[in-house]
Amino acid sequence: MKKIVICFCAFALLLMGIAVFTVEPRHDVYALSGVVVDVSKEEDTVIFKDFNGNLWEFDGAEDWAINDICACVMNDMGTENIYDDCILSVRYNGYI
């Protein structure tokens, strides 16, 4: 019984090692943070400025306020140009 358990554990470790080395990292996503500069409750949009001075907009103005810090996961859409990038997710990250 002990040999069966040892063989099973060795096989499981081998499979985990193969899985780890075959997964490619994603190169199309990146992190971005910024400070909220405008909140429109009527249009349900939030505009924030990243630390390069670019303005970005996302929907969902519920609890956002000016000077909140947001952390985003962005998709680069496979291009070098940042102006076609899209926001995948947004999280509140404090305030100034």
Dist. CA 70–CA 48, nearest whole Å: 8
Our count of domains for the chain comes to: 1
Tens-digit pLDDT profile for residues 1-43: 777 767 666 666 666 666 556 656 678 899 999 999 999 999 9
Select from 94, 95, 91 the least CA-distant residue to 31: 91
Q: Model pTM?
A: 0.72
Q: Is the pLDDT of residue 86 over 60?
A: yes
- Residue range(s) defining the domain that contains residue 67: 29-95
The pLDDT value recorded for residue 32 is 97
CATH number of the CATH domain containing 88 = 2.40.50
Residue 74 within any structural domain of the chain:
yes
Question: Would 37 be classed as within a structural domain?
Answer: yes
